[in-house]
Chains A and B, each alone.
Chain A
Amino acid sequence: MKVAFQVNGKRTSADVAPDTPLLWVLRDTLGLTGTKFGCGKALCGACTVHLNGMAIRSCQTPVGSVAGQKVTTIEGLGGNHRVQRAWMALDVPQCGYCQPGQMMSASALLAMNSNPSDQDIDAFMSGNICRCGTYPRIRAAIKAAARMS
């Protein structure tokens, strides 16, 4: 069955079972491997993308449910998004595997809250695990990005 939706501003469609998680459609069908698989159960945030601007876990989102809607992945953040600039300025990534999900969460947070407090960051970002322990830099980079225009 064909599911049509928008990814990173382009219309696309995937001929897959509608219960297929968006994660695997992005990665395997569309070749957008920036979005990562970490747990498959909405526990780690590695697969975070935007659906109509909101952060969602793509491993728990059947592709059928995004028909006609707008999906943005790390590839669609543009490379020069203030979150990405802050991430580069602070050398946030270590292994880097969790970071696309971290940045998609952080950019969704900043879109809603232009000046997040430590508590706001804790609340919004605690769904994204980093096993490398980049948390101090993630926190600092979100604050740095908040100061950028």
Chain B
Amino acid sequence: MENIVKNEKRRDFLKASGTVAGGLALGFYLPSGPRVAQAAEAGSSPNAWVRITPDNTVTVLVARSEMGQDVYTSMTMLVAEELEVDINKVKVEIAPPAEVYINSLLGGQVTGGSTSVRDGWEKLRKAGASARMMLVAAAADDWGVAAARCKAVDGVVTGPGNQRATYGSLAAKAAQMEVPKDVPLKPANEFKIIGNVRQKRLDTAAKVRGTAQFGIDTRIPGMAYAAVVLAPTFGGKVASYSDARAKSFPGVKDVVQFSQGVAVVADSYWTAKKALSTLNVRWDGGPNANIDQASIWENMEAASHEAGAVFREHGDIDTGMANAASIVSAEYRLPFLSHSPMEPMNCTADVRADKAVIITGTQFQQLVPHVVAGATGLKPEQVEVHTTFLGGGFGRRLEMDFPIAAAEISKAAGMPVKMVYSREDDMTHDSYRPAGIYKMNAGLDDKGNLSAVRFHSTGPSISARMFPSVVKDGIDPFSVEGIDNFPYTADGGLRFTYQMHDTGVTVGYWRAVSHNQNAVALESFIDELANAAGKDPIQYRMDMLDMGSTKHQWSGLAAGVAVGPRIRRALAQVRAKSGWGKKMPAGRGQGVAVMEGYNSVIAIVAEVTVSDSYDVQIDKVTTVVDAGTLVHPDQALAQIQSSLNFGQAACMLGEITIQNGGVEQDNFDTYRVTRINEAPKTLNIHFIKSNSVPGGLGEPATAVIQPAIANAIFAASGKRVRTLPYTPENIGAA
């Protein structure tokens, strides 16, 4: 494993350069795990993000996990812009866990929260600029001239009198030069790489040829394959099993019990998998053995009558409601969802007496050494972690179940193993997007304008399980997104509360997290209000906008920035681009939704056809995105295409249900996801030109497409569906 950080002085500089005020510190700064200051394999490293070898190979270290969202290219673009190199000749490596790579917006080396480019925006350009300045300083020193008289272009430093030196020839000396304190950055009008609409992804060739290495493709010497049987209930434990028959299978090397179940270790995955069926495992179902979906809803409904914790309030809500000319109330219910990335969870582990190597696709490499240490008795610094390409993440690969399982199995079997979940293991042992109940009441004045609003959500907290330190006074900040930044005015009173309620089901961060719940409920409800007021849904939103509204405290880079004007602009554009209000035949309708999240504003108009039997076809989706500066415009587009698809799958098809303490759906026949024939017939995506700092792009549209579709279904059919997903059954029952 490469490294990088040469001395404390440099590390401090880089840490300081990465500090962003207003970042959400999750409070899990870990004791520094693996020692990061080992010498680089080869080549010189002016800093943690750049390595240069004498043959002029420039390697950029990307410290976020590539799971489709393009960090491999977009983060490299940020470094290359200031480093002055041809980006298409740059080699990219995924960085090992190290303190220097901590995501300032999340407080750990984590890929999530649509933060990679936002966090890297200054940090990575400074890393590139700093490295370039050190290369120039080295050349200037060699030539005995002032650095100001030298110039760096395309991997070469030139000086007065035709002097010329390649980065490769300067690298060793550059690494010894003083790290510059003042690192000026190019103004936007000098960008050559950032914003280039023709820039290709740097990982496409490998992904098209089938040579890209995902975790599941790992092969290391002496490796055996492990297949597993996992507890069928949440919190279940192995009571007994018999390994005699499995061990008699040719090719089976061992059968081992581990914390989550039993594994067969064999010379091929298929042999291991076949032998599993002979184990006859008996389970102790544990405390959740009897939960089922009906009782989960019943208990959640009961909990929803609790007062909850207040996360935003002004005025006196009771007075506000009492003064209203009319009151609109609604309750929305959203189900559990599975992440189900296409690559099932897997991990290769080689656990020895004094060292472990873990190779896996993880969104949270910093935590891996710590959990593997816990599972094996080794120290975190004895655990080496390699991050592969991720075959999708969506939040699922923030979890530690698969590295822990592989490490335990390797240790017990005494050999390196590649452990692979079957699709069934993966889908029934996910960490699910929480189910929830959303109750809203609005007081309208005599003109139908919003005068008072009450929002009360009830559901499980993800952070209470994963990062309890961020939960304060009954509020999980990742349960109130998409509503704590409520952008409308309600001068007569506003009261928003959250009631945490555990169901026994393991819940996890799922693309766009609670935006997917709160904004889905809220933006559907706003449509109900517009309808009650007899007003156009876009105009109603514009009229209700709080033009002075500031972002909530969690928003990192842009905290305190007014979002009202951005939302208004996005709504105006989506109205113009979508052909809003045009005449439509019976059974067709348009719906709108808008949201600010991850410092981006997304407005969507969906157009649907609803049949007499309530089958829904998505005819057209028009999306307007205000995400500030676009670093890699074509892949910004890809991320919107991607999140629209993910949100569509969630709201049209997604539903995980619980029976006998476990998950009922176990493959893509019972848990359907969008297929190509169901994708919108027309997808128009427009970006608002902006020079502001980049907003997050990987997630927010996931949440906005859902209420846009719900509102279009209402326009097309008159059915207000408040229970997701929008299946013919749920629409028919509405």
Contacts and interface: CB of A to CB of B under 8 A. Distances in A.
Interface string B635-663: 10010011111100000000000000000
A132 B679 CA distance: 12
A126 B677 contact: yes
A68 to B, nearest CB: 21
A87 B423 contact: no
B668 A73 contact: no
B381 interface: no
Given A41-B667, A131-B673, A135-B676, A95 B342 contact: yes
Contacts of A94: 68-70, 638, 642
Interface in B185-218: 200-201, 203-214, 216-217
Nearest to A79: B209
Given A20-B270, A97-B391, A132-B68, A36 B643 contact: no
B243 interface: no
B392 A95 contact: yes
B667 A39 contact: yes
B268 interface: yes
Contacts of B216: 33, 36-37
A44 B392 CA distance: 14
Contacts of A100: 210
B687 to A, nearest CB: 16
Nearest to B420: A37
Nearest to A44: B668
A64 interface: no
B182 interface: no
Nearest to A85: B208
A125 B344 contact: no
B422 A133 contact: no
A43 B668 contact: yes
A139 B676 contact: yes
B268 A74 contact: no
A34 interface: yes
Given A95-B389, A103-B208, A126 B676 contact: yes
Q: Determine the interface band of chain A, counting residues with CB < 8 A from chain B.
A: 35 or more
A84 B393 CA distance: 25
B445 interface: no
B341 interface: yes
Contact of B200 (A21, A77, A91): A91
A95 B341 contact: yes
Contacts of A75: 209-210
B342 A97 contact: yes
B67 A129 contact: no
A139 B681 CA distance: 11
Contact of B209 (A28, A40, A74): A74
Interface residues of B, number: 60
Given A24-B269, A28-B268, A39-B668, A96 B344 contact: no
B343 interface: yes
B204 A93 contact: yes
Interface string A108-149: 000000000000011101111111111111110000000000
Contact of B208 (A27, A29, A99, A133): A99
B5 interface: no
A97 B389 CA distance: 9
A27 to B, nearest CB: 8
B638 A91 contact: yes
Contacts of B151: none
Nearest to B668: A43
B250 to A, nearest CB: 9
Interface string B489-521: 000000000000000000000000000000000
B217 A33 contact: yes
Interface string B325-368: 00000000000000011111000000000000000000000000
A34 B638 CA distance: 23
Contacts of A21: 270
A35 B212 CA distance: 11
Nearest to A133: B645
A137 B676 contact: no
A38 B634 contact: no
A130 B342 contact: yes
A98 B342 contact: yes
Given A46-B342, A95-B341, A40 B676 contact: no
Contacts of B438: none
A131 B208 contact: no
B342 A38 contact: yes
B641 A96 contact: no
Interface in B50-69: 66-69
Contacts of A130: 342, 645, 676
A138 B203 CA distance: 17
A39 B420 CA distance: 12
Contacts of A97: 214, 341-343, 391-392
A29 to B, nearest CB: 7
Contacts of A99: 207-208
B225 interface: yes
Contact of B389 (A96, A136, A139): A96
Interface of A: 16-17, 20-21, 24, 27-29, 31, 33-41, 43-44, 46, 73-75, 77, 79, 84, 87-88, 91-100, 103, 121-123, 125-139
**6 shortest A-B CB distances, which residue pairs?**
A34-B210, A133-B645, A97-B391, A96-B207, A94-B68, A95-B68
6 contacts: A28-B225, A28-B270, A43-B668, A96-B207, A122-B677, A129-B668
